[in-house]
Amino acid sequence: MKDVDVIRSAHNVLQNSLRLKPGESLLVAGDSRQSLALLKAFVTAGNVLGARTGLLTYPVLARQNDEPPPFVQAAFAAVDAVVAAPVVSLTHTRTLRAARDQGARILVCSGLSEEMMLGSVDVAYDELAHETRRLAALFDRAQTARVTATNGMDVTVRLGDRKAMAVDGICDQPGQWNFVPAGATALAPLEGSAEGVIVFDGSLAPLGILQDPVRLVVREGRVVEIQGGRQADQFCKFLSSFQHDLVYNIAEIGVGTNPKATLSGRLIEDERLLGSVHFGIGKSLNLGGTVDAPSHTDGVIVRPTLYLDGDVIIRDGQIL
């Protein structure tokens, strides 16, 4: 019964998120660590919907957002639509940008699991899109955002005239991308504008669920100090391994809107946690920013208070 339910959820995604049409070419792609049964569920659903569906697997990447082998980019660019569901993320890669430039629409599902398929993925996409777009519009109208929390967090960023992405799962236009699980906003703040302290207390890629908070001191848009316990030390070593100053850039701010999302240790779900706030660090190029760092990673604050131009939008993890 579980296999049938996963296929049913995949059908919901392809029909109501990717808006797949009969006769379109669909590529389902995953790395060598992803469940083959999960990938085949999307292949089955694509065939049921009348698409010309193919399956591609490639060797797992050493680090998230490393570039995959060249044949992956060639395959992505050759089809109408892609479901990209590796375990190790390729979200912020040139491969995805190049395929989108060729007109492929890409549904990014990095870290997707069968458990998510039966939970945070199995949603009414039109309803989720309505709330997610409402929150994105609030960011669009704001010039500044401030996030505080009882864990000691207090950080402010400037947004300028940049527009937020509504991560609502709807991906129906050539060259468009979106994400499943859906249910978040994403926006690159102005470079150099972030000031204060970010305290991640939910999860942090690539570490997973945090046992203790990780505290980032931020000055002029960059992380200048990382404080905490063992996981803070691991995160510090992860960023320093790139030997590149831009990996410390504050690249993204967003909020979660998915009522079915749970804290799983996989950022593609954790960022969707209803009423959470996440910050991205490193590359912002795919989000409307200008920083092309060799890494992009994200962390989640579970019960934040969010102010946009001084107005309370989220209070202690409750969206108002």
Do residues 85 and 174 share a domain? no
Same domain for 168 and 196?
yes
Residues 110 and 173 in one domain: no
Mean pLDDT of the chain: 96
Q: Which of 170, 177, 131, 107 is CA-nearest to residue 275?
A: 131
Verify that 63 and 105 share a domain, yes or no: yes
Looking at the DSSP assignment, which residues form a beta bridge with residue 5? none
Q: What percent of the chain has pLDDT over 70?
A: 100
The residue-averaged pLDDT of 136-150 equals 97
Domain check: are 47 and 93 in the same one? yes
Last residue of a domain, one of 63, 97, 117: 117
Averaged pLDDT for residues 20-27: 98
Same domain? 132 vs 63: no
The Cα 253–Cα 152 span in angstroms is 18
pTM for this predicted structure = 0.87
Q: What is the tens place of the pLDDT at every residue in 183-242?
A: 999 999 999 999 999 999 999 999 999 999 999 999 999 999 999 999 999 999 999 999
Together in a domain, 150 and 271: yes
Same domain, 252 and 188: yes
Three-state SS annotation for the chain? CHHHHHHHHHHHHHHHCCCCCCCCEEEEEEECCCCHHHHHHHHHHHHHCCCEEEEEEECCCCCCCCCCCHHHHHHHHCCCEEEECCCCCCCCCHHHHHHHHCCCEEEECCCCCHHHHCCCCCCCHHHHHHHHHHHHHHHHHCCEEEEECCCCCEEEEECCCCCCEEECCCCCCCCCEEECCCCEEEECCCCCCCEEEEEECCEECCCEECCCCEEEEEECCEEEEEECCHHHHHHHHHHHCCCCHHHHEEEEEEEECECCCCCCCCHHHHCCECCCEEEEEECCHHHCCCCCCCCEEEEEECCCEEEECCEEEEECCEEC
Domain that residue 162 falls in: 125-319
Q: Which of 117, 150, 166 is the last residue of a domain?
A: 117
Question: In which band, very low, low, confident or very high, does the pLDDT at 64 lie, cut at 50, 70 and 90?
Answer: confident
Q: Check residue 286 and give its pLDDT.
A: 83
Q: Residue 8's pLDDT band (boundaries 50, 70, 90)?
A: very high
CATH number at residue 58: 3.40.1830.10
pLDDT score of 92 more than 90: no
- State the average pLDDT over residues 136-147: 97
Q: Are residues 77 and 129 in the same domain?
A: no
Contact in structure between 167 and 139 (CB atoms under 8 Å): no
Q: How confident is the model at residue 264 (pLDDT cuts 50, 70, 90)?
A: very high
Q: How many domains does the chain have?
A: 2
Greatest extent of the chain over all pairs of C-alpha atoms, in Å: 53
Cα–Cα nearest to 190, from 139, 256, 224:
139
Residue 1: predicted pLDDT:
47
Of 78, 98, 117, the residue that ends a domain is 117
Segment 65-82, tens digit of pLDDT: 899 999 999 999 999 999
CB 42 within 8 A of CB 67: no
Give 273-306 pLDDT, tens digit per residue.
999 999 999 999 888 999 999 999 999 999 999 9
User: Which tens digits make up the pLDDT trace of 95-110?
Assistant: 999 999 999 999 999 9
Instruction: Please say if the pLDDT value at position 3 is more than 90.
Output: no
Residue 38 sits in the same domain as residue 148? no
Claim to verify: residue 103 and residue 199 sit in the same structural domain = no
Q: Examine the domain organization and report whether 177 and 103 are in the same domain.
A: no
